[in-house]
């Protein structure tokens, strides 16, 4: 059913393109990447991988009567040596591909094809149709429905644990750029029984809010409810306060009931979660922009789980030079994990983290370096640290075409040593209705 739906929608998109393409503005976004990776795992032979990946995106505006547009993005991979993922030497995927029509009244649009849905508490990837419109008195409405986009089958199963059909929508109220509240819901048909042997309909309802009572305060967040077990699945809220133009304080609160929040994961694993278990985090960040070339960030976050707690705190210094063509920074953080926080045999999950990075971008070339090191409180596989250094260098062949390369080298408890490299060719150009470049 899903494959048939996707085929029909994609074919419809392609057949409508020739009729209006001569009047369209077309944007092409292409990245060709050749990856080179060599890893050395203790007790195993060295492995070399050479995956070649092509990413391609296309947007065509002003089709038909000028109100229609086509949006496409996908990728394909072929392994020139070794197998970089599972046992497949080649793979590909249509990330999204849909037609959109914008009506001239009430800010109404309709989309059909493979698309992402981000509406309130809803985050779905479907082959189907969606539409939204503004209503009188500040109200709005959006609806969607279709087939779920399935991932690769799980080893030992003939499914990815998701149902076949999904539908939902959101109703909202907006007031003068000061307030927006929404009520949304999603329903997915029963997923197949997998390793956990748990099968039930996936349903969520919830609300979201954005409010800025005064210019210097901004609050955004959402809560979702699981009617199956009659508990809230998630709360997530963010507060921004601009104390002065150069000083911003951010606070956040997140809480999840594990069985509801992790349901898509537990549906295809042997994990059995207590419906009363919950995880939460609360934290804050202070950003001080000393001047146009210097900024300082300090942050703190506390994690609470049923089986342990942890605190992460630290800071970062950010710098800009040469009219913002050079960016850099250095940071330090410490994760102070309590006993039992790590789901491993290790006594402690505590570690220090150091990072240094710098980037330079000019009209002719761009370069970057990033060094990250973790230093463990207790050794992991007799190693007390992990680190990786990455260097990048690129050249702007012309404003639309760039050639770049990355190289990284590191050591960690899993790999004695690991080196990775890639070559990247990036093309981005917009053409107008008569074929000229924009």
pLDDT single digits (tens) 266-297: 444 444 556 567 889 999 999 999 998 999 99
- Decide: 405 and 397 in contact? Cβ < 8 Å: no
Express the helix, strand and coil content of the chain in percent, nearest 5 each.
Answer: 10, 65, 30
User: Rounded to 5 degrees, what angle do the CA atoms 118, 123, 125 make?
Assistant: 100
Pair type for strands 401-411 and 383-398: antiparallel
Query: Total domain count for the chain?
Result: 1
Cα 39 to Cα 47, 55, 373, 388: the distances in Å are: 5, 25, 18, 13
Residue 325 has what pLDDT? 87
Q: How far apart are CA 52 and CA 423, in angstroms?
A: 9
The reply to whether 398 falls in a domain is: no
The reply to whether 406 falls in a domain is: no
Percent of the chain topping pLDDT 70:
80
Residue 19 has what pLDDT? 45
Average pLDDT, the chain: 84
The reply to whether 278 falls in a domain is: yes
Burial of 182 (0-12, 13-18, 19+ CB in 10 A): buried
Banded model confidence at residue 351, pLDDT cuts 50, 70, 90: very high
- Token couple for 48: 């070399």
Percent of the chain topping pLDDT 90:
56
Whether pLDDT at 301 is above 70: yes
Pair type for strands 365-380 and 351-361: antiparallel
Residue 6 has what pLDDT? 43
Which SS3 state, helix, strand or coil, does residue 241 take?
Answer: strand
Banded model confidence at residue 40, pLDDT cuts 50, 70, 90: low
- Decide: 368 and 379 in contact? Cβ < 8 Å: no
Q: What is the span of the domain harbouring residue 139?
A: 103-283
The reply to whether 222 falls in a domain is: yes
Between residues 229 and 313, which one has the greater pLDDT?
313
Residue 56 has what pLDDT? 95
Task: Over range 367-394, report the average pLDDT.
Answer: 92
- 117: domain CATH number is 2.40.160
The reply to whether 80 falls in a domain is: no
Banded model confidence at residue 344, pLDDT cuts 50, 70, 90: low
Which SS3 state, helix, strand or coil, does residue 336 take?
Answer: strand
The reply to whether 320 falls in a domain is: no
The reply to whether 219 falls in a domain is: yes
Task: Over range 130-151, report the average pLDDT.
Answer: 93
Total Cβ atoms within 10 A of residue 70 = 22
pLDDT single digits (tens) 74-111: 999 998 877 767 677 888 899 999 999 999 899 999 99
Whether pLDDT at 128 is above 90: yes
Whether pLDDT at 388 is above 90: yes
Whether pLDDT at 199 is above 90: no
Q: How far apart are CA 393 and CA 367, in angstroms?
A: 4
Residue 52 has what pLDDT? 92
- Token couple for 433: 């209705």
Total Cβ atoms within 10 A of residue 310 = 19
In 265-416, at which residue ranges do the beta strands (DSSP E only) sit? 278-291, 294-305, 308-321, 326-337, 351-361, 365-380, 383-398, 401-411
Task: Over range 412-438, report the average pLDDT.
Answer: 79
Please tell me what DSSP assigns to residue 346. Answer: S
Please give the backbone phi and psi of residue 80, each rounded to the nearest 5 degrees, phi first.
Answer: -80, -25
- Decide: 38 and 407 in contact? Cβ < 8 Å: no
Whether pLDDT at 125 is above 50: yes
The reply to whether 33 falls in a domain is: no
């Amino acid at each position: 059913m899903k494959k048939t739906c996707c085929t029909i929608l994609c074919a419809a998109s392609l057949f409508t393109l020739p009729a209006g393409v001569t009047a369209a503005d077309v944007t092409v976004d292409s990245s060709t990447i050749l990856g080179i990776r060599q890893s050395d795992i203790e007790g195993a032979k060295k492995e070399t991988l050479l995956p070649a990946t092509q990413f391609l995106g296309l947007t065509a505006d002003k089709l038909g009567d000028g109100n229609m547009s086509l949006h496409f993005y996908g990728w394909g991979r072929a392994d020139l040596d070794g197998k970089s993922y599972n046992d497949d030497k080649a793979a590909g995927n249509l990330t999204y591909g849909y037609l959109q029509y914008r009506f001239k009244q009430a800010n109404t649009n309709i989309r059909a094809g493979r698309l992402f849905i981000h509406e309130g508490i809803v985050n779905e990837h479907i082959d189907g149709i969606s539409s939204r419109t503004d209503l009188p008195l500040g109200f709005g409405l959006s609806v969607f429905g279709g087939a779920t986009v399935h991932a690769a089958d799980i080893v030992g199963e003939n499914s990815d644990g998701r149902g076949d059909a999904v539908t939902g929508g959101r109703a909202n109220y907006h007031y003068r750029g000061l307030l927006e509240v929404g009520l949304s819901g999603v329903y997915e048909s029963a997923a197949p029984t997998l390793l956990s042997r748990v099968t039930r309909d996936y349903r969520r309802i919830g609300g979201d809010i954005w409010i800025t009572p005064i210019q210097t305060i901004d609050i955004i967040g959402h809560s979702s409810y699981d009617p199956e077990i009659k508990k809230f699945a998630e709360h997530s809220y963010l507060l921004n306060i601009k104390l002065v133009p150069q000083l911003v304080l951010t606070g956040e609160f997140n809480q999840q009931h594990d069985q509801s929040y992790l349901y898509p994961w537990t549906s295809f694993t042997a994990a059995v979660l207590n419906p009363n278990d919950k995880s939460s985090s609360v934290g804050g960040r202070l950003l001080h922009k000393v001047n146009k070339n210097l900024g300082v960030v300090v942050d703190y976050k506390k994690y609470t789980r049923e089986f342990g707690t942890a605190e992460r705190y630290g800071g970062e210094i950010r710098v800009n030079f040469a009219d913002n063509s050079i960016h850099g920074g250095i940071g330090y953080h410490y994760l102070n994990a309590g006993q039992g926080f790590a789901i491993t045999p290790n006594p402690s999950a505590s570690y220090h983290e150091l990072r240094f990075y710098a980037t330079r971008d000019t009209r002719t070339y761009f370069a970057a370096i990033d060094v990250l090191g973790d230093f463990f409180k207790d050794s992991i596989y007799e190693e007390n640290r992990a680190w990786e250094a990455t260097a990048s260098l690129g050249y702007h062949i012309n404003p639309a075409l760039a050639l770049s390369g990355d190289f990284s080298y590191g050591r960690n408890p899993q790999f004695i040593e690991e080196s990775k490299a890639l070559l990247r060719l990036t093309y981005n150009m917009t053409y107008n209705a008569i074929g000229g470049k924009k």
